[in-house]
Amino acid sequence: MPELRLNLITKEWVIISTARAKRPEELKSRQRKRAHSEYSATCPFCPGNEAKTPGEIFRISDGDKWKIRLIPNKFAALNRDAESKRFNDGLKHVMSGFGVHDVLIESRQHNTTTALLPPEHVAEIIRAYKTRFVELHADHKIGHVIIFKNHGEGAGTSIEHPHSQIIGTPVTPFQIRRRIEESISFFDISGECLVCRIMAEERNDGIRIVHETEHFIAFIPYAALSAFHTWIFPKRHSGSFSEITEEEIRDLALNLKTVLSKLYYGLNDPDFNYVVRSNRPRDAGSAFFHWYISIVPRISTAAGFEMGSGMFINPALPEESAQFLRSVEIPSL
């Protein structure tokens, strides 16, 4: 029989569809055509093509060569030079397009991905995230900063070269405000952080855990919104990604790489998105909010029911998906 499960963090009901359920191995993506060359003459992110991008904000170097570059997005969704203004005309509310939109070029190599990078290189990427996250939040006109990665055409990327993006908006998006409000509500009722409570119960159950390291735990939530939807929670309570320590950065790099490697080798390198969900640095001491990373493989497609109801249909049992990923053998890290 199908089940409806409530995702306590998103407050969304999910249909775990036993009628549509597939074995995890049946959800592997079709083998994609990946670039074979480490360099593409037409790729603006490849070394030697730096003039094709806006001037870099900063770089992380390896000797006399760059290893990681942060640049403004050439086709930015928001404009850093715009004046931050708000206008109201009756029920019509509008703001100027102020904001920041950056691209983090993650590697010199055109045909790689996070799953194939050394853990220390992944740690460098996370350090760059933290640096820019703190820098952008230092601007009082920035209301929220989101760090995300789109991998593959089905996840919304248009350039194959490994990269992620950082956007600072002048407002706090409704989804973020809603999750903060739900966290406050749970804390007011229970006196506990919702994420800490979920993490304790998942560790106690054990059946949905994918990978655990010293400082982080990765698992498929009880009411996963889609197949192989995975969360990575920091074990130490913290309201903001800005508070991640150097030891935790190295540990997160290993955890994130491992999870993405299991998806890469177990599901034939599926398209995916990941996002760092975090409050502002000045809210790091919040007792009710807890930052985390959400990874969403693009294996199934939302359709009319999801659009019309706001509910999701997950064709994979979270417990079986987690067991499958735990069993995936990956080459030595």
Question: Which pLDDT value is given to residue 78?
Answer: 94
| Coil, strand or helix at 244 | coil
pTM: 0.94
Q: Cα(249)–Cα(236) distance, rounded to whole angstroms?
A: 13
Catalytic one of 101, 110, 163, 290: 163
Annotated catalytic residue 163:
yes
pLDDT in tens, 144-166: 999 999 999 989 998 999 999 99
CA 125-127-131 angle, to 5 degrees, is 120
pLDDT of residue 34: 62
Q: How far apart are CA 136 and CA 159, in angstroms?
A: 25
Give the residue among 50, 39, 54, 52 at the shortest CA–CA distance from 100: 54
The chain-wide mean pLDDT, for the chain, equals 92
CATH class of 21-37+108-327: alpha beta
Percent of the chain with pLDDT over 70: 94
Q: List, for residues 53-73, the tens digit of each pLDDT value.
A: 999 999 999 999 999 999 999
Tell me if 277 sits within 8 A of 294, measured CB to CB: yes
pLDDT score at 81: 87
Confidence label for 137 from pLDDT (cuts 50, 70 and 90): very high
SS3 content of the chain, % helix, strand, coil (to 5): 30, 25, 45
Q: How confident is the model at residue 196 (pLDDT cuts 50, 70, 90)?
A: very high
Q: How many residues does the chain have?
A: 333
